Amino acid sequence: MKVFVWLSVVLYAVSVTVAAPQGCTHKVKEQIEPPRGWVKLAPAPPDHIIHLRIALLQPNFTQLEQALYEVSDPDHARYGQHLSKEQVEELVAPHSESINVVDEWLASLGIQQSELSRSSAKDWVKVKVPVSLAEKMLDTTYHVWQHTESGDTIVRTTHYGLPEDVHGHVELVQPTTIFSRFRGMKTTYRLTSSNQQASDSGAASIRSASGTVVDASCNSTITITCLKELYNATGYNSSATNGNTIGITGYLEQYANFMDLQSFYAQQRPDAVNSTFKVTLINGGQNNQTLSAAGIEADLDVEFAFGLTYPTPSYFYSTGGSPPFIPDMDTPTDTNEPYAEWLDYILGVPNPPQTISTSYGDDEQTVPESYAQRVCASFAQLGARGVSLMFSSGDGGVGDGDPDPATQTCYTNDGRNVTRFIPGFPASCPYVTAVGGTTYVPEVAVFFSGGGFSIYFAQPSYQTAAVASYLAKLAPGTYQGLYNPYGRAIPDVSAQANYFLVWNAGEPIYVGGTSASSPTFTGFVSLLNDALISAGRPPLGFLNPFLYSRGVAGLTDITAGNNPGCGTEGFNATVGWDPGKLLNCEKSGWLTITIAVTGLGTPNFGLLKDIVLS
């Protein structure tokens, strides 16, 4: 007999005790409302295999966080003294008692030690079990759920529990309550005979907001040359051998194509022709080099990040374990949100690249808060080790990123169903750098640039002054209740995000999105790390404390580009950090609100280089 508790309205930290099958006592660990947009189809097949991940408590994480902030703060004595892999692992290691308790629990269910795998710091335990066993372990019932709009199906539950003696040693178990769909944040434009979007002044060159001189064509077509001119890096040569490396993550069967890269180099970076990147396959990730399998996202990311930084050695991480979403009840996908798989890999590597870009994410609210916190804590580990992590801020403005504005909603899915701006995750993690988008020369905020305020993560101290000064300029009561003024604000910085000339599947096409701005900003961070490493200095590591202090002087504030909305003018652009301008549109009787965001601004590599070397 199975007994579980069903509460109609549940907030966080529910602790209800019920009788569990084996006579021991389970305590509810997490319980959510069925998320908006998903319907329960049927009980999950009992023999369907789930790859469970169990997160053990990290009792000393606050010590790691403190170390992260100290080594990342240019005004602290420990600045640049990054931690080793072993030092970080010591600070996130679970208590040995936690390891024993969990092992005993799994053994009592007949799971052998040999069936378990563990992360490098032993803070995650992974095991493959059939649904029938997972239900017994977690005192729950799994169902096949379908995403109404896309037809995607997954195996999930809305609540789970743990035996009382295990409860306090485990932070979370997934996949249970994750309903994230984890799409790539990209928008694409097919090549047309001429790009109609931007006007041409007829001049040969134009001036950027920072004062650099840029070829006039850059207003409507972004190339490597344009970005170097725009961001003041023309003539800088990086080293192939000083130890600096750069990484791009790939998910969702996005393959970076070698032939496309050669075509791109032949056109935009001729000296790089015949150079290539290393591909690392993680968790069953593939590297399909059939030209027609080339991913637009992956090609965009590697061509621009590696084109900006050649001859810096470069890595592409192809992580599997993500959908094909097969809309078939008999073969539902049960995949984990795949950052965790990539993190397991990269945290186990002794010398990861100093600079890494990711152009994938989802609405923060689709990731359970406990899981978002834990994944974010893993990004802190990389930062403490001296790795700069960039994430696209998202392409949905303050909305939920639904490409069809008519169906875009800004409703919470926590059962309260109130209207709220929807920030993106992982960009909303305070230990990463969120990159928003601009367009045109001189640059203005691009309308789709994701931004706003996290619901889950408190505002980190490095940005409180910048955000407070922005909010102080707002008329009292503006958008009250729609955002969390005490939350982590995004983006931190921005870069060009439209009209990128990319080679994909043998053809040149135009691509846009904060998918373009993250690898771009990352390219310039990698060049800064190159300069530092060549000078015998440590790399920048976690960037934000630097960006919001000394770094501001090397960023170009974007203060123009209002997209006047259908009725309201929204937030005004201001000097300093800003979440940009709002565009409000009345659509089918309710409000769609799009916020364009630029954070502290776009990079001026020459100035930043002088600042970091000074």
Ligand X SMILES: *[C@@H]1O[C@H](CO)[C@@H](O)[C@H](O)[C@H]1NC(C)=O
Residues that bind ligand X (CB under 6 A): 36, 59-60, 93, 95, 198-199, 201, 206, 210-212, 219, 232, 235, 237, 273-274, 288, 290, 292-293, 411, 417, 440-441, 474-475, 478, 569, 571-572, 604, 606-607, 609-610
Report, in Å, the least distance between residue 291 CB and ligand X. 8
Between residues 45 and 320, which has the closer beta carbon with respect to ligand X? 320
Element (H, E) at 51: strand 49-56
Report the DSSP pairing between strands 362-363 and 388-392.
unpaired
Between residues 201 and 407, which has the closer beta carbon with respect to ligand X? 201
C-alpha span between 108 and 124 (Å, rounded): 19
Residue among 263, 515, 518, 526 flagged as catalytic: 515
Six-digit token string for 330: 């008999």
Neighbours of 40 (CB within 10 A): 13
Neighbours of 288 (CB within 10 A): 13
Between residues 180 and 232, which has the closer beta carbon with respect to ligand X? 232
Report, in Å, the least distance between residue 442 CB and ligand X. 7
Residue 297 known to be catalytic: yes
Report, in Å, the least distance between residue 42 CB and ligand X. 21
Between residues 34 and 538, which has the closer beta carbon with respect to ligand X? 34
Between residues 245 and 438, which has the closer beta carbon with respect to ligand X? 438
Q: 558: annotated binding-site residue? A: yes
C-alpha span between 562 and 98 (Å, rounded): 53
Report, in Å, the least distance between residue 185 CB and ligand X. 22
Q: Which amino acid is at 419?
A: T
Q: Which amino acid is at 109?
A: L
Between residues 265 and 456, which has the closer beta carbon with respect to ligand X? 265
- Contact in structure between 140 and 173 (CB atoms under 8 Å): no
Report, in Å, the least distance between residue 240 CB and ligand X. 12
To 10 degrees, the CA torsion angle through 4, 104, 375, 122?
A: 180
The length of the chain in residues reads 614
Residue among 297, 344, 363, 530 flagged as catalytic: 297
Phi then psi dihedrals of residue 553, to 5 deg: -65, -15
Residue 271 known to be catalytic: no
Report the SS3 class of residue 31. Answer: strand
- Contact in structure between 420 and 414 (CB atoms under 8 Å): no
Between residues 91 and 133, which has the closer beta carbon with respect to ligand X? 91
Task: Tell me how many degrees the CA angle 228-231-232 measures, rounded to the nearest 5.
Answer: 75
C-alpha span between 415 and 1 (Å, rounded): 29
Angle between the 339-347 and 369-384 helix axes, to the nearest 10 degrees?
Answer: 30
Report, in Å, the least distance between residue 570 CB and ligand X. 7
Q: Does the N-terminal peptide bond of residue 426 adopt cis geometry, omega within 30 degrees of 0?
A: yes
For residue 587, what are the β-bridge partners? 590
The residue written with tokens 């200095």 in the block is: 537
Between residues 325 and 411, which has the closer beta carbon with respect to ligand X? 411
Report, in Å, the least distance between residue 405 CB and ligand X. 16
Strand blocks (E) in 283-368: 314-319, 355-358, 362-363
Strand blocks (E) in 89-157: 117-118, 124-130, 143-147, 153-156
C-alpha span between 398 and 237 (Å, rounded): 38
Return the closest-CA partner of residue 250 out of 187, 318, 315.
318
Six-digit token string for 511: 């691509």
Report, in Å, the least distance between residue 271 CB and ligand X. 7
Between residues 316 and 571, which has the closer beta carbon with respect to ligand X? 571
Report, in Å, the least distance between residue 20 CB and ligand X. 28
Residue among 65, 171, 299, 301 flagged as catalytic: 301
Residue 65 known to be catalytic: no
Give the residue nearest to ligand X (CB): 606
Q: Which amino acid is at 233?
A: A
Report, in Å, the least distance between residue 235 CB and ligand X. 5
Between residues 441 and 532, which has the closer beta carbon with respect to ligand X? 441
C-alpha span between 150 and 383 (Å, rounded): 36
Report the SS3 class of residue 373. Answer: helix
- Contact in structure between 446 and 596 (CB atoms under 8 Å): yes
Q: 154: annotated binding-site residue? A: no
C-alpha span between 469 and 479 (Å, rounded): 17
Residue burial 346-367, b: 16+ Cβ < 10 Å; e: rest: bbeeeebbbbbbbbbbbbbbbb
Q: Could you tell me the CA-to-CA distances from 375 to 49, 336, 426, 597 in Å, in that order?
A: 23, 12, 8, 25
**Residue ranges for the binding site?**
557-558, 576, 578
Q: Which residues are annotated as a binding site for Ca(2+)?
A: 557-558, 576, 578
Just list the catalytic residues. 297, 301, 515
